[in-house]
Amino acid sequence: MMLALNRKTVVVGILLVALIAFLAWRLIRPMNIFVVAAAFERPVATASMLPLLPSLSARGCAACHQEFYQEWATSIHSQAWTDPYFQVDWAFDGKQQVCKNCHIPLDRQQEDKVVGFNDQEKWQPILEPNPNFDQQLQHEGVTCAACHLRDGKILGPYGSGSTAHPVEQLDNSNEICFKCHVVGGNRWDTFFRFPPCGTVAEIRDTPGASKDSPPAAANNTVGHEAVGPGDAALDCVKCHMPLAERPLVAGGKVRTVRKHLWRGGHDQEMVKQGLDAKLREAPTPSADKRSFTLTLTNAGAAHYLPTGTPDRHLTVAIRLVDRNGIVLREDRHVLKRSILWRPFIVELRDTRLPRWQPRVFQLDVDSGRDLAAVAVEAQVRYHLLDEDRRRRIGYENKEPIAYDVFRARIALNREKAN
């Protein structure tokens, strides 16, 4: 009997030591939070580029496609590599090679060639110096060829046998977005399916929302790229590449094309289009109390608002102020994802705005207690970066990392409404 107990104690002890060692390893191991998919495990190969193209640079495309080039030049895509926040954040996280495959997607944009991998999950590429490296092209980030060149062919919404360069027609332009913005997280140790820059996983998993009820009309067609209600949830270009009527090239036939803008969280007006916000006085049963509600609805984005990295969040404030603008009382809320990263990736809470599901915040005013109050104010701010994260990575921003997307004020009949 004693011998059996001793053996059991040894086995339990070994298991406990193994468990502690495993958890310790989970706490110090590199943080690989998504699966390196075949779509972006390597940069886009350009060895078979068409001989008719003098250059892969966006400036070369601008000779014929000037309006598209000018739009691209204002976009975050054009700054995907040079953006100072990306550079600081990327360095803080160890300068993973796989990040380059979306931020500088062409092989000629990268100093090294990926010739293989040291691990099955493809987080440890085998690199060799790249003799075709082009630093000027690198600084163009997600340049024209990154989306429009595949296997020596130029892709576009309209097929063409142009002598300048043939164009192969895309079945669905959204497929180009998917390469970088639809990243899987189907790992045994990841209970939070986090695409680092993607949104489609959110669209599919939004509780209570139907992909057959898109936030905007689905009658959206360019060439043969038809998007109907059945797949509207995956329609990135509808919002981020609005339609325009203009020729593809100067002097050409006027067509329905898409603007190359890709506005998102960095653009205040784009965020405001997705957010429906209303500050109202609500009916109350008591004569000595008044109630005010701020209702927020994600009415314009098929994904959550905000989306992107977990650092992005909304702050909501609804407050009472006196006639000097001093805040007498305030309720504050943060709409964000809260995540446990180690030893396992677990989403603890998500208070962001899923589409078409109103969120109501209420502030009550007691006419006997709140005598100095003259108005109720509401403010909603969009944050590109969490302040704690900004300090931790050492990012010294020169541009604001937060901005207002809604402000409103209701007077309490003690002053005229603004």
Give 255's contacts (C-beta < 8 A, 6+ positions apart): 158, 245, 246, 247, 248
Cβ contacts of residue 4 below 8 Å, gap of 6+?
Answer: none
pLDDT for position 100: 95
Alpha carbon separation from 133 to 35, 48, 302 (Å, rounded): 27, 16, 38
C-alpha angle 115-49-102 in degrees, rounded to nearest 5: 55
d(CA 64, CA 68): 9
Length of the chain in residues, anyone? 418
Q: In whole angstroms, what separates CA 185 from the centre of its chain?
A: 15
Phi, psi of 328 (to 5 degrees): -90, -35
Task: State the CB neighbour count (10 A cutoff) for residue 397.
Answer: 13
Given a contact cutoff of 8 angstroms between Cβ atoms, the answer to whether 294 and 332 are in contact is: no
Rounded CA-CA distance 37/145 in Å is 21
Exposure string for 64-103, b = 16+ CB within 10 A, e = fewer: bbebbbebbeebbbbbbbebebbebbbeeeeebbbbbbbb
Q: Centre a 10 Å sphere on the Cβ of residue 126 and count the other Cβ atoms it contains.
A: 11
DSSP 3-state assignment of 256?
A: strand
Specify the pLDDT at position 233. 45
Q: Report the DSSP beta bridge partners of residue 342.
A: none
Task: Give the other-Cβ count within 10 Å of 43's Cβ.
Answer: 22
Q: What is the pLDDT of residue 50?
A: 62
Report the alpha-carbon distance of residue 67 to residue 270 in Å, rounded.
20
In order, the DSSP letters of 135-148 are HHHHTT-S-HHHHH
- Residue 205 is predicted with a pLDDT of 53
Domains, in order of start, for the chain: 38-258 (no CATH), 268-411 (2.60.40.2150)
Token pair, residue 305, equals 């608002």
Query: What is the structure's pLDDT at 282?
Result: 92
Spatial distance between the Cα atoms of 114 and 128, rounded to a whole number of angstroms: 7
- Give the pLDDT of residue 118: 93
- SS3 track for 78-132: HHCCCCHHHHHHHHHCCCCHHHHHHHCCEHHHCCEEEEEECCCCCCCEEEEECCC
Looking at residue 207, its pLDDT comes to 57
pLDDT at 22: 75
Q: How far is CA 39 from the centre of its chain?
A: 18
- The whole model's pTM is what? 0.86
One digit per residue, the tens of pLDDT, for the chain of length 418 reads 555 667 778 777 888 888 888 777 777 777 777 778 788 889 999 887 766 677 899 999 998 899 999 999 999 999 999 999 999 999 998 899 999 999 999 999 999 999 999 998 898 999 999 999 999 999 999 999 999 988 878 899 888 877 778 888 988 888 888 778 776 666 777 666 555 565 655 665 555 555 444 443 333 333 333 333 333 446 788 889 999 999 998 888 999 999 999 999 999 999 999 999 999 999 877 778 899 999 999 998 888 899 888 889 999 999 999 999 999 999 999 999 888 888 887 888 889 998 888 999 999 998 878 889 999 999 999 999 999 999 999 999 999 999 999 999 999 975 444 4
Residues 6+ apart with CB under 8 A from 320: 327, 328, 329, 330, 363, 365, 370, 373, 375, 376, 377
pLDDT of residue 222: 36
